[in-house]
Structure 1
């Protein structure tokens, strides 16, 4: 703390002496490139371990962490294999990275407690991390393991299961990213055919493990590419003509409460986007596969949406909606039975806890594309006739024997009425 106070005091002295001045152009340029952020400490406290890599560090924010040092050896091996296949020396790549060093450094939010890295150290780190990702892509996606031993635990064809299961989750962490400009530079160090598409392709395929055919992906780092291409992030069109929408902070009733109000649940016809609709009492939601790593992905993408200026809040809004719909294991079971959720966790309770947990500490604001759906769901449950009709159906029409008994009672009542009418007519005559 004393060192921090001394630095602050010295900074104020430098300002007074005119040694520190405002440079608006430089400041604006810095925000232009900023895209990799340090997660606020309170979110780290709420979600312990969800923002910290377990196996490999990428970039400066976790560089040097003691528990990640074993992977540094494999990074160095990756660099040697990369250079062995390349037509260039390491100096060529370092010179190319140095040409864009200011842009690369500006991509990161440097917390006060993280010492600023000197240029050679910074470039060496990015060279190692970038080559590691490119070799990982070559050996896992392209299936080209030439040069590596069959039993190589990281890059070989029979790699260790532990690494295979954990590497993707580490690549999803917001603090554990490198700019795609690094990959683009390493793929074309001489700048003969500058094209960002190949770097985006590598980032996409590392996550999805299938070929990327799109040339429209323009991500800033691998997590951003994943965020842009995941089905969680494509929304329907904005609903027009909505009058007096319900406040965004007002909770949508849970799935079981909606069922009690007569709402039916179906899977959306499209599995390529968040295709959500509510018409004629039917709520359609996208098909979701919930795995143990889903919480990590959601937390990091939501943090990115909320820390990066101008970013769409699609995932945050959709997760907030799902948190409203899912209060208990019964809500999860209802969505599982409707074919909306495929539960790959140990229990429905764990899925409920996942959605209830990931929203903790996050900031939520209105998403115009969900405004109409939220409003109509809330108002549907306010109408008493919907509740009465649903209660009648749930009480009397679910059990076939109850339906038969109800029909029999109705038939008996009709026969009784007919007999009464005939008796009255006979008496009158």
Structure 2
């Protein structure tokens, strides 16, 4: 007599996707234990990119705008719509493997979502660089432009960078600089164009192969270009607040790193703690939280930004909190 439970368990296990040792994932949903600290910091407010927030009722109004941008992009592309869609279809298994959780979309549905979203972003970058703003429904409204740029940097709102590059390269194959043309790479439009504002430390643009997506690009902006992998997994030890350190005789000095400086370049020398100057605004917390979430998921041995946030947290503790 067959064991019905064993049969059901076997069928269930056959449907399991991925594994404990998957190494291709780079797009993540923020773990609940991190997300619950500030739900809004990880949730797109205006536009969804990729499958994780696709269909969100709060973001549906942007779908029409994305499709209009997609039409403009196809018009300026030297490749046909069929060629561009085929490009994404060929990459579909690779794209799906980049998400750490199961995507409940068919292959065709995922291709459609990725294609529309990527074309929208590429067209947005091109129009931004061209200064096409007067009649543009997005770029003509400062609040919408700013909010979209923030949404594009959220960890849960990512499409792997190689997808953008493949579509972009196929669309403008004969005009790219690498083929003797005048059109720069997609990475240039991202790092030196649309997201240049966030590169406060003016670090050189990264090689596209070294960046997984836009959240990873933001992390690159915060880190020194030649950071090294930590050799030992030692805990960050600092048990005193700034006020306690001052009472103990420690002096604080703000340093200005003008060229290719890094906010992580902390120095303690002759009783003086030197901390690089940073510019913070309303979005700083959002960006740091998303980079920290990326490090927790993707860089478990290289969590430099997390260490920095913990360091500042200790310094800012009040006497009451230290007790």
User: TM-score range with shorter-chain normalisation?
Assistant: 0.7 to 0.9
Question: Secondary structure at 2:7's aligned position in 1?
Answer: helix
Query: Given the alignment of the two structures, is residue 177 of structure 1 paired with residue 171 of structure 2, yes or no?
Result: no
In structure 2, stretches of 5+ residues that fail to align are 179-183
Question: Secondary structure at 2:62's aligned position in 1?
Answer: helix
In structure 1, stretches of 5+ residues that fail to align are 1-9, 241-246, 331-355, 357-429
User: 2: CA distance between counterparts of 1:229 and 1:214?
Assistant: 9
Question: Secondary structure at 1:130's aligned position in 2?
Answer: helix
Q: CA deviation at 1:16?
A: 3.4
* Equivalent position of 2:125 in the other structure: 137
- Point out which structure has higher relative CO (alpha carbons under 8 A, 6+ apart): 2
Q: Would the aligned equivalents of 1:180 and 1:221 in 2 still touch at CA under 8 Å?
A: yes
Q: Give runs of aligned pairs for residues 3-402 of structure 1, distance below 5 A.
A: 13-16=7-10, 20=14, 27=19, 31-110=22-101, 116-140=104-128, 142-145=129-132, 150-155=134-139, 159-189=140-170, 198-204=185-191, 205-209=193-197, 214=205, 216-217=207-208, 218-231=210-223, 248=235, 250-271=237-258, 272-273=261-262, 274-309=264-299, 312-328=302-318
Number of matched pairs: 301
C-alpha spacing 1:327/1:236, structure 2 compared with 1 (3 Å): farther
Q: Would the aligned equivalents of 2:291 and 2:305 in 1 still touch at CA under 8 Å?
A: yes
TM-score, normalization: structure 2?
Answer: 0.81
Q: CA deviation at 1:207?
A: 2.0
User: 2: CA distance between counterparts of 1:235 and 1:286?
Assistant: 16
User: 2: CA distance between counterparts of 1:178 and 1:236?
Assistant: 26
C-alpha spacing 1:162/1:11, structure 2 compared with 1 (3 Å): farther
Question: Secondary structure at 2:155's aligned position in 1?
Answer: coil
Q: CA deviation at 1:257?
A: 1.2
Q: CA deviation at 1:253?
A: 1.3
Task: State the Cα RMSD in Å.
Answer: 3.5
Q: Would the aligned equivalents of 2:77 and 2:171 in 1 still touch at CA under 8 Å?
A: no
Question: Secondary structure at 2:40's aligned position in 1?
Answer: coil
Question: Secondary structure at 1:284's aligned position in 2?
Answer: strand
Q: CA deviation at 1:63?
A: 0.3
Q: CA deviation at 1:99?
A: 1.1
Q: Would the aligned equivalents of 2:203 and 2:221 in 1 still touch at CA under 8 Å?
A: no
